[in-house]
């Protein structure tokens, strides 16, 4: 069987010994990759190469993985927008095959449902196959111009899309957050450098790497009895891109 657990914060930051570092580099594979390629995962499993997936939930394939609490964090962020008074909240997402992005969309839907708000399909857009700043800008421009009633807030599944949405809004002469509040996910460096600084969900990538590395060591030592999905906490960072409508 397989199991899931949530790691309490703060996570440990152990040092990997040199002899284990050599074995990690030469005999293992660790992916920081959100796309769930079932064929690739099964191929590696058949080769019996110890590996851990990072930011990719594949516990159903009996594979060790380290992920964020994507759905719960997205739900909290959208709930924050609702608490500010927003009722028309748009969503900008990425390809459905990216597991973490799908979880963030589910969190958006869950928050709306809990608040008794209907999903307006005119306010939902997905970027595929890329989901970078320029993709977000194009998608947000189309969304903002096609909607019969413009949204007062927008939640994007990552910061690149959110930054693109800010650019699109500003190009249309909209004030952020005066006319449109924008929130993202990941807390990349650019999130605090744009104008206005972006409200977002912070993920702890260093700790994800540490946990994945330690899990690899346990697998190689033979002390792992069954696959584990380790879920790490996140943190909402409130900045100047969100406000009351």
**pLDDT tens digits, 143-199:** 999 988 999 999 999 999 999 999 999 999 999 999 999 999 999 999 999 999 999
CA angle 80, 237, 6 (to 5 degrees): 85
Task: Output the DSSP codes for 167-207.
Answer: HHHHHTT--TTTT-EEE-SB--GGGGTSSSPPBEEE--HHH
- Residues 223-237, mean pLDDT to the nearest whole number: 91
CA distance 240 to 58: 36
pLDDT score, position 70: 96
Binned at pLDDT 50, 70 and 90, residue 7 comes out as: low
CA angle 11, 59, 93 (to 5 degrees): 80
Residue owning tokens 């997205």: 74
- Residues 111-131, mean pLDDT to the nearest whole number: 94
Average pLDDT score over the chain:
86
pLDDT score, position 16: 40
**pLDDT tens digits, 26-64:** 445 555 454 556 777 777 777 777 888 888 777 677 788
CA distance 221 to 168: 51
pLDDT score, position 96: 79
């Amino acid at each position: 069987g397989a199991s899931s657990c949530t790691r309490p914060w703060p996570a440990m930051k152990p040092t990997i010994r040199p002899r284990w570092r050599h074995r990690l580099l030469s005999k293992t594979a660790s992916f920081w990759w959100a796309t769930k390629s079932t064929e690739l995962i099964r191929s590696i499993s058949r080769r019996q190469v110890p590996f851990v997936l990072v930011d990719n939930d594949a516990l159903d394939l009996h594979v060790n993985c380290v992920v964020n609490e994507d759905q719960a964090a997205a739900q909290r962020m959208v709930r924050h927008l609702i608490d500010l008074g927003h009722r028309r909240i748009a969503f900008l997402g990425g390809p459905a095959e990216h597991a973490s992005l799908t979880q963030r969309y589910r969190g958006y839907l869950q928050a709306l449902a809990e608040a008794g708000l209907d999903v307006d399909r005119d306010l939902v857009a997905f970027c595929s196959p890329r989901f970078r700043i320029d993709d977000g800008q194009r998608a947000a421009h189309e969304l903002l111009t096609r909607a019969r009633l413009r949204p007062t807030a927008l939640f994007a599944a990552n910061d690149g899309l959110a930054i693109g949405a800010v650019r699109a809004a500003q190009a249309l002469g909209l004030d952020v957050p005066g006319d449109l509040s924008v929130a993202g996910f990941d807390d990349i460096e650019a999130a605090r450098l744009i104008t206005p600084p972006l409200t977002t969900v912070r993920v702890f990538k260093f700790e994800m790497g540490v946990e994945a590395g330690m899990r690899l060591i346990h697998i190689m030592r033979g002390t792992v009895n069954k696959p584990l999905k380790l879920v790490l906490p996140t943190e909402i960072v409130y900045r100047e891109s969100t406000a009351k409508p």
